[in-house]
């Protein structure tokens, strides 16, 4: 009987989730975007990736007077780049800026190399320490902005008020992301990455482990007390 009730509950829950998909599915797409309105800054940080959008948006911001400098993190070179088969992301971004009318004197290649958003945040932290820049516009795609802000908050806690995240176009409509292949790939993978970052880099896994250990200890002691009580009742003279 219990098994049938459990199965019925699961089916009913699945039906409710499916029937309300037009409510919660758009939130999965739009909820990733935490971009804010534009405000004048000292520089624009262009996060690596999506060279078809981010560098162009950054160039437009500089040309419109919202910033003076373009900051470009340098990524680790893979074998194709080392062998000259492919161009480094940072260099591709730089060439796009130059072709969009941004002079080389306004382009700054950040020191060090990175292979993640964490590395990009660390590169910006070093730039802050070296230059004392006041405000920076972080340009990334809308679907990546929430995770990027979370990462930068971990690395640049004392400088977070100096950052503003500006969303570049996604290439798909976030309100109906499931209707395109690009939307499904971007939104689903981004939520998975965000969850992984929270669990791994946010040390949530450590809290889960500590809770599991604490629960095991309490359970063991509780069972020990019960076992001890039974054993006492069986002693001679009881």
Residue range 186-231, pLDDT digits in tens: 999 999 999 888 887 776 555 566 667 766 666 666 555 455 554 4
- For the record, the structure tokens of 227 come out as 């076992």
Residue 159: what pLDDT?
80
- Please check whether residue 156 lies inside any domain of the structure: yes
Distance CA(108)–CA(104), nearest Å, equals: 8
- Please check whether residue 19 lies inside any domain of the structure: no
**CATH classification at residue 34:** 3.40.50.620
- Please check whether residue 106 lies inside any domain of the structure: yes
> Is 33 in contact with 142 (CB distance < 8 Å)?
yes
What's the mean per-residue pLDDT of the chain?
83
Residue 124: what pLDDT?
93
- Please check whether residue 85 lies inside any domain of the structure: yes
**Sorting pLDDT into bands at 50, 70 and 90, what band is 13?**
low
The domain of 75 spans 30-200
pTM of the model: 0.77
How many domains does the chain fold into?
Answer: 1
> Is 124 in contact with 111 (CB distance < 8 Å)?
no
């Amino acid at each position: 009987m219990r098994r049938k009730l459990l199965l019925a509950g699961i089916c009913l829950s699945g039906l409710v989730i499916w029937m309300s998909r037009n409510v919660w599915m758009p939130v999965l797409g739009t909820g990733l975007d935490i971009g804010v309105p534009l405000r004048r800054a000292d520089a624009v940080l262009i996060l690596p990736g999506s060279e078809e959008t981010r560098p162009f948006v950054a160039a437009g911001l500089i040309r419109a007077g919202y910033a003076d400098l373009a900051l470009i993190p340098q990524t680790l070179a893979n074998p194709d780049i080392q062998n000259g088969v492919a161009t480094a992301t940072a260099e591709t971004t730089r060439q796009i800026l130059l072709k969009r009318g941004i002079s080389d004197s306004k382009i700054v290649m950040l020191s060090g190399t990175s292979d993640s958003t964490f590395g990009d945040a660390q590169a910006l932290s070093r730039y802050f320490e070296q230059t004392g820049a006041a405000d920076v516009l972080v340009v990334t795609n809308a679907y990546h902005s929430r995770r990027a802000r979370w990462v930068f908050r971990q690395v640049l806690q004392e400088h977070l008020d100096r950052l503003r995240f500006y969303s570049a176009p996604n290439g798909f409509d976030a309100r109906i992301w499931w209707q395109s292949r690009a939307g499904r790939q971007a939104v689903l993978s981004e939520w998975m990455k965000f969850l992984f970052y929270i669990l791994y880099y946010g040390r949530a896994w450590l809290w889960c482990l500590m809770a599991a250990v604490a629960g095991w200890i309490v359970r063991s002691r509780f069972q020990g007390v019960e076992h001890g009580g039974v054993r006492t009742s069986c002693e001679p003279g009881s």
